[in-house]
Amino acid sequence: MPHNVFEQQPDLSSRGTLVYYLRLILHGWPDRYCIRILQNFVLSLKDEGIALINENDLSPIGVVNSVVEKLGKIADMQMMTVCNSRDCTAREFEGLFHEADPRLKLFNIHRTSGPAMIMEVRLSGS
């Protein structure tokens, strides 16, 4: 099925609770494009809709174990050199969510034993 994150996403909410899952998408784009991508999903988030955003967690030094921390830093440098983009901390992602739409809130973070985290994002009040 053709799909383009730079177009508004289809509204499938009539089929029930809608979950968008974006895995390692945002870290491949400069911030201004991440904001456009997020806005395309926000416009289709309704009621109980959730966006699960799975990205590497660039936690501040000392928050995660040193191996995970190094993997995160290496990935961040790769993204910078290859895509002019970056990995982020959860707080930095929160800033991007806010810029995309102030109603877009980070409700929960599901961490893994590796560098990945899954951020649960919803429209506030929904």
Ligand X SMILES: C[S@@+](CC[C@H](N)C(=O)[O-])C[C@H]1O[C@@H](n2cnc3c(N)ncnc32)[C@H](O)[C@@H]1O
* Contact range with ligand X by CB under 6 A, out of 22-30, 65-73, 88-96, 100-108: 22-30
CA distance 9 to 32: 18
CB of 15 to ligand X, least distance (A): 21
27 is catalytic: yes
**How far from 73 is each of 32, 33, 77, CA to CA, in Å?**
22, 22, 6
Per CB under 6 A, contacts with ligand X among 35-74 are none
Segment holding 54, helix H or strand E: strand 50-56
| Residue 72 structure tokens | 């995160």
Binding ligand X (rule: CB under 6 A), the pick from 23, 70, 91, 110 is 23
| Site residues for ligand X per CB under 6 A | 3-6, 23-25, 28
**Catalytic positions, written as ranges:** 27
